[in-house]
Chains A and B, each alone.
Chain A
């Protein structure tokens, strides 16, 4: 392993980046970047001494060099190979973090769905961006978010105007092309959903090639009153991929936000899902499924912050851990003093199908209000041997019985998927992973 120091590289890169921004360096947004690089410099990359990174060691990641936003000769043919069958909708491609308009297809009318690259949005819609960015940010405590913000440029800005129901889903496909060299990307997406608007948004991460790749993604949702958002995060990256991603959500009253986070593959994955419910009668749903094998490491940190009364949150994460894989679940629920009559439910269930797999779970509840209903539970166990024997006694081989039980375990999370093509794609990935790995 080489001894490149990623932090040094990035601080130097920032100087260059600023130099190339020309006019943009004068925009108010650039001050946000400058502040962010300072924060990153002060925080530095976390070590396992950091409470939030106790089980997820980024040491190997930060001792490597990466080429950020590398130009890739990614062609339509390559795209076709990575196709998600029967998927229809607005499909936007990001190759090594850079939006590729040529490969992308937008089918929804502009009256429903406004799409701009983030760089263009910063120039053309500076106020809308300023009003909505960092609404529920962990930038002060998360070095990766600070880093992403410092370099925020590539990524997408999506605006669904008030009252619009976007019929076709919006699919963001992030492809790390590591066929030539170690590559890294820092997509930054801002998705603003107007009052009573509805949309389905999926982020799908893939990687190609044998070199290392690193994605440091931040996606923000600002969900206005009575809006309804269904969000999917789908990860199917190689064993040499590092993914650190934060999805931040800010919800107003009577809005509904549902997140499905499915990690089929990835070498080192850290997902942060932070939701702030800042209005009454809102609902947040967080569902997750992860199936690591080999030496894969999958870490899900979720936080839901109930700031106002009468809202509900509901969380179910499930993991099937094979071989020598490791998993982490940390689920925080905050109920602020004002947030009376909050209902918050959290559950994380895991099956270790190998004696060498490990799962670390930590529910964290901090409740300042007194009239609330909260529950949480985490379980980590093995496949039920009585059930296995029962199935074998009916002629089903042990391996098939194990697979059936694993699939049955995952089924209720799979059933939360509402976009048929996404559901079918994930089912196939999950079945493949369960039966063949």
Chain B
């Protein structure tokens, strides 16, 4: 589904991604871990199409299409979803209204009829149950004044509504209390099908107890420097990143 080859990206004069390779197939869950500042969120933003980043080399294929050619909204319509590490507050736009617009814009892109109000409501109710989110939250302005946990839960709710093919969850676990973590993780698991895939960016093994990854990658200095199975996450939890740096020949 997703094939990233030798991806280089910079912001301003600063090169952040320096030859990153990653392949994700339908039905898989990939975890990306790595120290602060390694470039994890940058990768997520580049995949979602943020214009501030300039891709200087490499390719990204999504179902055979050149993803980098597409505008952010086209990528979303093609099925890419990014759960933001820092969801943006948008005063004056209710979550409900925002998602109605998003759903219908995507349907328009796909040449489908807009969804009517009744069907929306039905679909919303159903998806709300996935992440146990409250209607009152959805009536409020998007993310405005939401607690950290509420914002993250709202991201997963949006994912449930938009049913992406590829979901990239950027530190969705940070800021969640223990119960919320479980609820959010269960939501992600319920949305899993053999046709879609998930990339989970996280610092903590704990999340991976709930969302069990098929692969774990270490992103360091703009590249994937090590890949393994879920045992790698356990090892990182125990030993930190120094041993990886040593393996790379860096003196620690």
**A interface vs B, CB < 8 Å?**
384, 386-387, 389-398, 400-401, 404-405, 407-409, 411-412
In the bound complex, what is the Cα–Cα distance between A395 and B50 (angstroms)? 13
For chain B residues 53-72, which have a beta carbon within 8 Å of chain A? 71-72
In the bound complex, what is the Cα–Cα distance between A407 and B97 (angstroms)? 12
8 contacts between A and B (CB under 8 A): A386-B88, A387-B89, A391-B98, A393-B76, A395-B162, A408-B93, A408-B141, A412-B92
Majority SS at the chain A contact face: helix
Nearest-CB distance from B141 to chain A (Å)? 8
Q: Mark B30-55, 1 if CB is under 8 A from A, else 0.
A: 00000000000000000011110000
Nearest-CB distance from B153 to chain A (Å)? 16
Interface size class of B (residues with CB under 8 A): 20 to 34
B-side contacts of A407, CB under 8 Å: 92
In contact, B106 and A395 (Cβ under 8 angstroms): yes
In contact, A397 and B92 (Cβ under 8 angstroms): no
A-side contacts of B75, CB under 8 Å: 393
8 closest residue pairs by CB, A with B:
A408-B92, A395-B76, A392-B72, A395-B106, A390-B88, A394-B102, A411-B92, A408-B93
B-side contacts of A398, CB under 8 Å: 71, 73
Q: A387-B88, A390-B84, A390-B87 are in contact. Are A395 and B93 (CB under 8 A)?
A: no
In contact, A400 and B71 (Cβ under 8 angstroms): no
Q: Which residue of B lies closest to A399 (CB)?
A: B73
Any chain A CB within 8 A of the CB of B101? Answer: yes
In contact, A395 and B87 (Cβ under 8 angstroms): no
Nearest-CB distance from A398 to chain B (Å)? 7
Q: Which residue of A lies closest to B79 (CB)?
A: A395
Q: Which residue of B lies closest to A415 (CB)?
A: B92
Q: A394-B162, A395-B105 are in contact. Are A389 and B92 (CB under 8 A)?
A: no
In contact, A397 and B105 (Cβ under 8 angstroms): yes
B-side contacts of A408, CB under 8 Å: 90-93, 141
In contact, B109 and A394 (Cβ under 8 angstroms): no
A-side contacts of B90, CB under 8 Å: 384, 387, 390-391, 405, 408
Nearest-CB distance from B96 to chain A (Å)? 13
For chain B residues 141-192, which have a beta carbon within 8 Å of chain A? 141, 158, 162
